[in-house]
């Protein structure tokens, strides 16, 4: 038996330390969260995606009375980016959320969204910077492996 220790590095910035770009990405995610369609959970999530051409596209969670038919904010944003800007890589992504109208301390993407962030990264050919925001702090991570170690990806699929 051998043990492998996996490390995740997260840089935590308080609001006063945010760069201009971090502030821009977080306010875009917040604006998106406010447009969420979340009448069932009252948990509104917003995601903003920074593309290689400098454009920012956003998404919010879209719920459905048939619950599994809804989609998370991160996937709405990333799928929109992938479908609209075919060959433009995703550089960074920010996420924030409101629970019953109040911003949460930290918006952590669900497992399915982590997998989709990983795929976007493979598509981009470079790490995506991930900003997870709350009211006071953002967690900044370099690449999907910070969120999803020991991951499944296309490398194991047959050619």
Catalytic residue numbers read 74
26/45 with CB nearer ligand THU: 45
Q: Do the beta carbons of residue 122 and residue 154 sit within 8 Å?
A: yes
Question: Which CB atom, from 38 or from 124, has the smaller least distance to ligand THU?
Answer: 38
Alpha-carbon 158 to chain mean position: 29
Residue 51 contacts residue 91 (beta carbons within 8 Å): yes
Q: What is the nearest approach in angstroms of ligand THU to the Cβ of residue 49?
A: 14
Rounded to a whole number of angstroms, the minimum distance from the CB of residue 24 to ligand THU is 21
Closer CB to ligand THU, residue 22 or residue 61?
Answer: 61
Residue 67 DSSP label: G
- Provide the strand spans (E) within the chain: 11-14, 43-51, 56-60, 90-99, 102-103, 129-133, 137-142
Which two structure tokens, joined as six digits, stand for 151?
Answer: 């991951």
Q: Residue 13 Cβ, how far from ligand THU at the closest point, in Å?
A: 21
Residues contributing to the site for ligand THU (CB under 6 A):
38, 41, 43, 45, 61, 63, 70, 72-74, 109-110, 113
What span, in angstroms and rounded, lies between the C-alpha atoms of 107 and 124? 23
Q: Quick one: tokens of 54?
A: 């400098």
Q: Which is nearer to ligand THU, 108 or 135 (CB)?
A: 108
Least distance from ligand THU to the Cβ atom of residue 21, Å: 22
Can you tell me the distance from the alpha carbon of 148 to that of 8, in angstroms, rounded to the nearest whole number? 9
């Amino acid at each position: 038996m051998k043990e492998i220790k996996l490390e995740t590095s997260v840089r935590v910035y308080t609001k006063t330390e945010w760069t201009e770009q971090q502030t821009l990405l977080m306010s875009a995610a917040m604006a998106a969260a406010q447009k969420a369609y979340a009448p069932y959970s009252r948990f509104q999530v917003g995601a903003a995606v920074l593309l290689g051409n400098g454009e920012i596209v956003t998404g919010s969670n879209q719920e459905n009375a048939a619950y599994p038919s809804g989609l998370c904010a991160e996937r709405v944003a990333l799928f929109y980016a992938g479908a609209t800007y075919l060959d433009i890589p995703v550089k960074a992504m920010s996420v924030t959320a409101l629970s019953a109208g109040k911003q949460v301390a930290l918006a952590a993407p669900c497992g399915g969204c982590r997998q989709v962030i990983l795929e976007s990264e493979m598509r981009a050919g470079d790490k995506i910077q991930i900003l997870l925001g709350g009211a006071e702090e953002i967690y900044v991570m370099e690449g999907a492996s910070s969120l999803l170690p020991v991951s499944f990806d296309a490398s194991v699929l047959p050619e």
